[in-house]
Structure 1
Amino acid sequence: MIESILPAGVIAVDTFEDPPQATLFPEEEFLVSKAVAKRRAEFTTGRWCARQAMQRMGRRPAPILVGPRGEPQWPDGLVGSITHCAGYRAAVAAPAAHVSTVGIDAEPHETMPDGVFEAVSLPEERDRIMLLEREHPGLHWDRMLFSAKESVYKAWYPLAERWLDFEDASVTFHPGTATFTAELKVTGPRLHGRSLTGFSGRWLVEKDLVITAIAVPAQARQPTLSAR
């Protein structure tokens, strides 16, 4: 499902269940040795999806450990992203020679819990979401914003290797094209010879899920922000 919002060359694998054949490498087992069953299932199936993607690329399956912020550490020469929520797990991977960074996120298509939307959004974003709710009812735009910001962070961190707060990026949705843009409010890292100022992504609402994705091509122009 998620492959429909990703460019060619990014391999995606997703599932709506935890397959019994999903296993971990010993190094990964250690990371979840004390985890509750829910966390262990999410972690295991996410890694299983990632290794299925590797195999489709002709790469040998390998452990995917975690970095200082809990981010997946992909084998040399690969970039990727993993997401999971209730009833859904997905992973994407691509050669680093073709894609600079990728970020994906999946969320249940439902209203955010009380107080969360205000905590993760900027005033300008709240104004835009209110307008979207009037003009395009039936979609949970608050949840979409949260998901987009998660994808932004996952695309940002491998490039910058530093934290990005929710208020450090301003997201604008473009319903006509099912896309979004994110304007960075902080100085970004150098990418393709220029300072990174934002990301462009796509979104999908299907099977009671909100899914967002960002993929930045390697050796390409910096993503530009669409006119508001």
Structure 2
Amino acid sequence: MLASNLFWPRFDKTWPLKRSQEPSKKIAFAATNFSLEHFHKAYQGKDTFSYFDFPLNHLWQKMTQTRQAEYLAGRLCAHQLLFDFAVHHEYLESDDKNVPIWPKGIIGSIAHCYPYALVMIAKSKDYQSIGVSIVARAESRAEFALSSNTAFGVLTQAERLRFATHLDELTLALIYSVKKSVIKALSPLILSYLYFDDMSVIAIDWLQGSAELSLERDLGGQWVRGQSFSVQFDFYHSKVISMLALPRQLGFELMFP
């Protein structure tokens, strides 16, 4: 029997990137802490998916309950936004790499960071792709310690020199987050996986909440080495959130004037 405190989550739809102007063409946002703060207390695996009439595919059946909870919370956010866009969709399936398969006419991105799951979606007539990432600043001290191999996996040699005098855990977490949003936005377009050293952060504007990046190699088509573009970032409940939305025009263009 399911726990009596299991219920449909509440969603935060407030635009999270306060430092920059909202896009002129709509990008919808939703986040919930339902995944772990409340949901995980009531979570009962496959039965919880059934409660929300959502299938637990074979790939996610092998995951831990925490990962399953994050997965479901992200999908519930996505379905709330699809409902807001008047898109009828029974449930959001995933491909063999667990990447969401969005309904026709919709592009989107899902991210998790304890205790939040969040989603951004838009219409494909307006944007080619969206990548959103969220990283915990507190976790960065352990995961991205400056002496660890992870730091050197995130930073290019040029970045290590560029930020050498002020590279703290927050800056490193930000670089990780903005690069992750680029990876999530570009990977579906180039049909291959990107890595952290495929791009370099050139500059960070902490006041405006933007980071300028440049590609370190040709990716094919319009994505060429030296191509620069801007990723928006801010702090969401003390965590670093970043987003790259690629408009329909050719090439990278700044989404915000």
Change (3 A) 1:76 1:200: same
In 2 relative to 1, CA 124–154 (structure 1 residues): closer, same or farther, beyond 3 Å? same
Task: Give the aligned partner of residue 66 of structure 1.
Answer: 94
Counterpart of 2:63 in structure 1 is: 35
How many percent of aligned residue pairs carry the same amino acid?
A: 24
Q: Deviations over 1:38-67 (max 9, x none)?
A: 010010001011111111111113432223
Q: Distance in 1 between matches of 2:201 and 2:72?
A: 31
Count matched residues: 216
Greater percentage in strand: 1
Change (3 A) 1:177 1:124: same
Residue by residue over 1:186-205, the C-alpha shift from the partner in whole angstroms, topping out at 9 and shown as x without a partner, is: 22343xxx445343211112
Q: Which residue of 1 aligns with 2:15?
A: 3
Q: 8 Å contact 2:212–2:229 — kept in the other structure?
A: yes
User: Match for residue 211 of structure 2?
Assistant: 180
Asked if 2 retains the 8 angstrom alpha-carbon contact of 1:100 and 1:217, the reply is: yes
* 2:106 pairs with one of 50, 63, 78: 78
- Of 18, 31, 38 in structure 2, the residue corresponding to residue 14 of structure 1 is 31
Segment of structure 1 superposing worse, 29-38 or 152-161? 29-38
Match of 2:134 among 84, 106, 114: 106
In the TM superposition, residue 131 of structure 1 has moved relative to its aligned partner by: 4.0
Contact 1:24 1:47 in 2 (8 A): no
List alignment gaps of at least 5 residues for structure 1.
none
Gaps of 5+ in 2: 1-11, 40-47
What is the root-mean-square deviation in Å for CA atoms of aligned residues? 2.4
Do structure 1's residue 25 and structure 2's residue 54 form an aligned pair?
yes
Cα distance in 1 between the residues matched to 2:95 and 2:215: 23
Counterpart in the other structure of 1:223: 252
Residue number among 195, 201, 209 corresponding to 1:165 in the alignment: 195
Aligned counterparts of 2:77 and 2:96: Cα–Cα separation in 1: 22
Instruction: Check conservation: 1:109, 1:205, Cα contact below 8 A.
Output: no
Q: Distance in 1 between matches of 2:219 and 2:28?
A: 27
Q: 1:224–1:141: structure 2 CA closer, same or farther, 3 Å change rule?
A: same
Secondary structure of 1:32's counterpart equals helix
Q: CA deviation at 1:221?
A: 4.8
- Kept in 1: contact 2:89–2:103 (CA 8 A): no
The answer to whether the 8 A contact 1:54-1:61 is kept is yes
Note if contact 1:188-1:195 (Cα within 8 Å) is conserved in structure 2: yes
Deviations 1:70-118 (A, max 9, x none): 3222111110000001111101111100111100000101332432111
Q: 1:98–1:217: 8 Å Cα contact kept in structure 2?
A: yes
Q: Is the 8 A contact 1:109 1:208 kept in 2?
A: yes
Q: Secondary structure at the match of 2:104?
A: coil
SS in 2 for 1:149: helix
CA distance in 2, matches of 1:43, 1:210: 20
Check conservation: 1:83, 1:90, Cα contact below 8 A. yes
Question: Matched residues in 1 for 2:252 and 2:223: separation?
Answer: 11
Tell whether 2:242 aligns with 1:212.
yes
- Number of the residue aligned with 2:172: 142
Is contact 2:111-2:133 (8 Å) kept?
yes
Question: SS where residue 103 of structure 2 aligns?
Answer: coil
Taking structure 1 as the reference length, the TM-score comes to 0.84
Report if the CA contact (8 A) 1:168-1:186 is conserved.
yes
